[in-house]
Structure 1
Amino acid sequence: MSGAGTPAEKPASETTVEVACYASMPQFDSSILDTFIPRCRRLTQLHFGRIVSNPDAPQAFSENVGFNMTYNLVEPGKGNALHTHPSVEIFIALDGKWEIAWGGRGEHTTVLQPWDMIAVPAHVRHSYKNVEEKTANHIMTILCGDASITWGPDVVAEARNHGVRCTRRGELLGFWSGEELQEEAGAETEEDEPDAYHRPMSNPEMARHVRRFRDGQSLSVQAKGSFVNVSWRALAQGETLAIHCSPRAVDVLLVVLEGSLLLTRQGGELVAVTSQLDSVRVSAAEAQGILACNQLRTPCTILVVESQMRAIAGRQCGEWLVAGVSPTGSMGGECFAPVEEAWRAIGARGGRKERRIASATFTCRSYPKMAAGGARLL
């Protein structure tokens, strides 16, 4: 499945900064096949790329950076259905606790605490679930490369039993622009594909792909000529942080996990004021001249996503690596260094390395569809 409906990839703009405000982004309640199954209902916000079985959903940012990124707001006890991708998928718990399941029937599990993240390798069948008892919570996904999906056993049939019209592959009918898909078009379901397509993975193997916020280790996923690095930065009251990124990076994304973040240029020019769950896209070239400042009395923690993925298409399983993990399981490489001075400073100030987010109690509901896009140019 190729990138139909996605803005064409192009060189990063060197002067444009875009802010996607969480409160104004459209939320889709029927954006993907499994959301028609009651246990999988959720709201999805699309930042980059496209939603795998709804290619016409508008992305918030104007440029495609080579990966797909979403927020998903999920009620307690609900999640998504088992599926696989031909490339790595990264999950970050934005708030609340999340169970990540994997295996042929989801028999292996691990739980992410707030701000923890995991990189699920290509062709490993997996799903997520909000395991909080009372609160709806958010999980962030980054899918490297093309938005392509193969659903687990019985998922397509279960969705059809709930009235959805879709192809055998699970692509929704009536959501595509242009010509109508035929119901029998598309790739086969997993029952018709070789067993070798499903990559088994043990608990110890998957544990090497988990990054705990309390440990402060960043995460990197690499393919030939492409990569995405994900790390945390914590700012105390009044602290200012110069944004330094990899010399190979083309795009930088900042996601506010807690607090409020003020972005200025070196000369003092205001770039953006952001709050919790807002995100900022900027070219790596311009990011070097931007300062991030926390001017409030409350802590501010941000997620930094550096990438060079604009030129990639789909990659085969063997070409995607969670960097630093050797065949023997040992870790190495720059991407696994602890989050540098800003992180160590928390301990020096007597702060806690593991903060929890207080989630507001509310119920998921259907939001009115908004105009395409949700980002503003600065």
Structure 2
Amino acid sequence: MTDTDPVGTGLGSRIARLGQLTEIEPQRGHDLPQHVADLIWSRRLLPVVTRADEAPSPFGTRAPIKGAGDMSITYAVCPAGTGPSLHTHRRTFETFTVLKGRFQFTLGDDGEGTAVLDPFDVISVPPGVARAFRNVSAGEGLLQVIITGGRHDVDDITFPARTAREIAGHGEEYLAYFQSKGLHFDI
């Protein structure tokens, strides 16, 4: 079956197909060891919807759908045992829906709160609250990540100093790589 676009609606350009999504730009062609990249990103971040403005999005510009109000949607693919370390969105809400697998969410500046979510469970983390997540299921996990409010740019996300130290422990050049992509670390 093929898609049809009723005359004048423009809806044909507002369809995103999972099999055609591509990773965010920084995840393609880097020379980072996988265990270092896993400290910052889900194994694959697949943008679905991005804002239509010109803000430098942390999720890149490759989403097939641009502009859906004040939100973005990305799929986060995580093999078993993986997920990004604690980080904070300073001005935006980050709402997660588990689509496949089980995920443990760690919340708070020192990771003092935890919650395990099953498929179709949802958690919404407000601005300023540190969060991390890890796929605790045996197989690949998939999250839908919706970002709303604030400005969805690279200046919104900050990683704690301990993440910077851990990355630098594998090589200062790896920390420099992430900083060159606009990521911020409390150093």
The whole-number CA distance in structure 2 between the counterparts of 1:107 and 1:117 is 19
| Residue 158 of structure 2 is aligned to residue 150 of structure 1 | yes
Contact between 2:100 and 2:140, CA under 8 Å: does it hold in 1?
Answer: no
Contact between 1:36 and 1:159, CA under 8 Å: does it hold in 2?
Answer: no
The whole-number CA distance in structure 2 between the counterparts of 1:161 and 1:29 is 25
| Residue 102 of structure 2 is aligned to residue 97 of structure 1 | yes
The whole-number CA distance in structure 1 between the counterparts of 2:87 and 2:135 is 17
The whole-number CA distance in structure 2 between the counterparts of 1:113 and 1:36 is 25
Which amino acid is 2:139 matched to? T
Which amino acid is 1:45 matched to? L
Give the length in aligned residue pairs: 162
Identify the residue that residue 145 of structure 2 maps to in structure 1: 141
| Residue 9 of structure 2 is aligned to residue 15 of structure 1 | yes
Aligned to 1:109, the other structure's residue is in SS state strand
| Residue 26 of structure 2 is aligned to residue 27 of structure 1 | no
| Residue 158 of structure 2 is aligned to residue 164 of structure 1 | no
The structural deviation recorded for 1:36 is 6.1
User: Residues 39 and 63 from structure 1, CA distance in 2 versus in 1: closer, same or farther, beyond 3 angstroms?
Assistant: closer
Which amino acid is 2:46 matched to? Q
Identify the residue that residue 112 of structure 1 maps to in structure 2: 117
User: Residues 111 and 89 from structure 1, CA distance in 2 versus in 1: closer, same or farther, beyond 3 angstroms?
Assistant: same
Identify the residue that residue 70 of structure 2 maps to in structure 1: 66
Identify the residue that residue 121 of structure 1 maps to in structure 2: 126
Question: Whose helix proportion is higher, 1 or 2?
Answer: 2
Which amino acid is 1:19 matched to? I
Counterparts in 2 of 1:200-219, with a 5 A limit? Answer: none
Identify the residue that residue 337 of structure 1 maps to in structure 2: none
Contact between 2:25 and 2:60, CA under 8 Å: does it hold in 1?
Answer: no
Identify the residue that residue 310 of structure 1 maps to in structure 2: none
**CA-atom RMSD, angstroms?**
3.2
The whole-number CA distance in structure 2 between the counterparts of 1:81 and 1:73 is 15
User: Residues 64 and 131 from structure 1, CA distance in 2 versus in 1: closer, same or farther, beyond 3 angstroms?
Assistant: same
Aligned to 2:161, the other structure's residue is in SS state coil
Aligned to 1:37, the other structure's residue is in SS state helix
Identity %: 23
The whole-number CA distance in structure 1 between the counterparts of 2:167 and 2:56 is 15
User: Residues 30 and 160 from structure 1, CA distance in 2 versus in 1: closer, same or farther, beyond 3 angstroms?
Assistant: farther
Which amino acid is 2:43 matched to? R
Counterparts in 2 of 1:239-278, with a 5 A limit? Answer: none
Contact between 2:44 and 2:76, CA under 8 Å: does it hold in 1?
Answer: yes
The whole-number CA distance in structure 2 between the counterparts of 1:137 and 1:95 is 5
Instruction: Output one character per residue of 1:128-165: Cα deviation in whole Å (capped at 9) or x when no partner.
Output: 11000x20110111111322111123223333444425
The structural deviation recorded for 1:121 is 1.5
| Residue 70 of structure 2 is aligned to residue 76 of structure 1 | no
The whole-number CA distance in structure 1 between the counterparts of 2:79 and 2:186 is 28
Aligned to 2:119, the other structure's residue is in SS state coil
Identify the residue that residue 3 of structure 2 maps to in structure 1: none
The structural deviation recorded for 1:57 is 4.0
User: Residues 30 and 76 from structure 1, CA distance in 2 versus in 1: closer, same or farther, beyond 3 angstroms?
Assistant: farther
Gaps of 5+ in 1: 1-13, 176-180, 192-378
- Structure with higher Rg: it is 1
The whole-number CA distance in structure 2 between the counterparts of 1:111 and 1:100 is 6
User: Residues 152 and 68 from structure 1, CA distance in 2 versus in 1: closer, same or farther, beyond 3 angstroms?
Assistant: farther
